[in-house]
Amino acid sequence: PSDPRLDTFYSKVKELNMAILVHVGGEGAVHTGEFEKLGNPLLLRRPLDQGVKIIMAHCASLGNNLDLDTPSNGKVDNFELFMRMMGEKRYEGSLFGEISGLTQNNRFDGPLQTLLAKKEWHPRLVNGSDYPLPALNAVIQTNALVNAGLISEDERQALNLVYGYNPLLFDFVLKRTVRHPATGARFSPSIFMIPKALSN
């Protein structure tokens, strides 16, 4: 993503007022080998600095990568790198996070709860499905979400019924249902619509 040879592409994307959805963070569904490093969120500073709108898939919620801002830090959690960039004022109109995968077993105890609490970022978050992963029963375990205080037992039972009917609908309803276990904060409805900054 930081290759200067992509600048012409980035320029055209900006000219057409489009956005680029980019997979960032670790990849667990397929083998990536040496290409795992391409999921480093910091590599997207180049297009962002050119004014390109970037949507970071999964909010970089898995894995770790080299801290390119301060290499002496070594490898840093990708989600921490994503949060660092989201906190930078210069990217407020161009950097967005996509929330698919956050209810999966390997993400709900950290990134999901952090983003539920970050209400100020909700206008910059967008919904996605990460299909077909929501259709894999082992990936999202509603019992674990109950135990973590993210949903109630009654909600779990209703969600399981929806899952049996339509896993994509289940994924959507689940993300509309989850709440922060300490504060009760939920994802804002705006996340499930096109953000104004992406439609301008």
pLDDT in tens, 13-65: 999 999 999 999 876 555 566 766 788 999 999 999 999 999 999 999 889 99
Mean pLDDT for 94-98 is: 97
Structure tokens at 134: 């929501």
Q: What is the pLDDT of residue 28?
A: 59
pLDDT digits (tens, 9 = 90+) for 104-157: 988 888 999 999 999 999 999 999 998 877 777 778 999 999 999 999 999 999
Per-residue pLDDT, averaged over 80-92, amounts to 98
pLDDT of residue 137: 74
What is the predicted pLDDT for the residue at 139? 83
Q: What is the pLDDT of residue 131?
A: 82
Return the bridge partners of 20, or none. 54
**167 is written with which tokens?**
């896993």
pLDDT at 152 (0 to 100): 98
pTM of the model: 0.92
Half-sphere exposure of residue 94: CA atoms within 13 angstroms, side-chain side: 19
DSSP code for 84: H
Query: CA-CA distance, 124 to 10, in Å (whole number)?
Result: 20
pLDDT above 70: residue 191: yes
Average of pLDDT values for 174-180?
A: 98
